[in-house]
């Protein structure tokens, strides 16, 4: 068995400590600063950073080994431990090997999957402070046609991220669904949509300007009126070691701390 330790730029000391601890108590470990597809070849991944570090890992891996997160960031909704207690938690987690999977979504552009996200895929105006026209269809039925700064297609895990700050609801992280939330819509009384996870959502961009398609704030592509864009559930979920925390209690606690 072998482990990969992936760290964000200011957490190298904790990452080196984690690598040494893993090698002394669990298995061989190697360290990465920049995640890449080689991570798929490890038995498990230890992320040292915040939720953003985990999102960067998930941008690079398709078939995801179980992830254990050591939080050195601000929020840490996806993490399992802190630098102070990870040595007490990690060995038992690996020994039990209980995992949980969370859905990801993909954006297909002109017939090819180009983006994958755990939180959300955003379609935003490519011109700051200028509205963009977007039409949204679900299984061929048009459900929205609006002018806005953009629109978010989010997972249940992602409902507590960008979608929440844009006025969307908090969704149980174990409820498989896709959330549609406009960003600053030019319309009174708008409501978000919560769509069954196996639906196919199509996005049509107006001719006036292009949109930037952004996955988890990490990867960006430009799409225009001539592009065929669809979003749907990925067949490759994100895989985590099961947390000792109740997910709903953790969400509540973290969000309360932000008030």
List the catalytic residues: 51
The Cα–Cα gap between 114 and 129 comes to 26
The Cα–Cα gap between 139 and 199 comes to 6
Reported in sequence order, the residue ranges of 112-166 that DSSP labels E, i.e. its strands, are: 112-117, 120-125, 132-138, 141-148, 150-154
String of DSSP letters for 23-90? HHHT-EEEEESS--GGGGGSSEEEEEE-HHHHHHHHHH-SSPPPEEEEE-SS--TT--B-TTTHHHHH
The Cα–Cα gap between 250 and 216 comes to 21
The Cα–Cα gap between 160 and 155 comes to 9
Measured between alpha carbons, how far is residue 135 from residues 196, 201, 228 in Å?
A: 19, 10, 12
DSSP 157: G
């Amino acid at each position: 068995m072998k482990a990969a330790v992936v760290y964000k730029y200011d957490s190298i000391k904790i990452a080196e400590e984690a690598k040494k601890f893993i090698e002394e108590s669990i298995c061989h470990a190697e360290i990465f600063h920049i995640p890449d597809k080689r991570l798929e070849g490890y038995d498990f991944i230890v992320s040292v950073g915040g939720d953003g570090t985990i999102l960067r890992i998930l941008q690079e891996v398709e078939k995801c080994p179980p992830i254990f997160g050591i939080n050195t960031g601000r929020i840490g909704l996806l993490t399992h431990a802190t630098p102070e207690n990870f040595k007490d938690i990690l060995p038992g987690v690996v020994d039990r090997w209980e995992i949980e999977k969370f859905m990801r979504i993909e954006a297909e552009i002109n017939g090819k999957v180009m983006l994958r996200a755990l939180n959300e895929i955003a379609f935003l105006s490519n011109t700051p402070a200028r509205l963009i026209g977007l039409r949204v269809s679900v299984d061929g039925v048009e459900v929205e046609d609006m002018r806005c700064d953009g629109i978010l297609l989010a997972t249940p895990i992602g409902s507590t991220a960008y979608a929440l700050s844009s006025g969307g609801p908090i969704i149980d992280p174990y409820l498989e669904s896709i959330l549609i939330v406009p960003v600053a819509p030019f319309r009174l009384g708008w409501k978000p949509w919560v769509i069954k996870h196996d639906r196919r959502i199509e996005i049509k961009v107006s001719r006036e300007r292009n949109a930037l398609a952004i996955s988890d704030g990490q990867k960006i592509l430009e799409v225009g009126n001539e592009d065929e864009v669809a979003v749907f559930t990925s067949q490759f979920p994100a895989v985590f070691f099961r947390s000792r925390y109740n997910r709903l209690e953790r969400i509540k606690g973290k969000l309360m701390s932000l008030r």
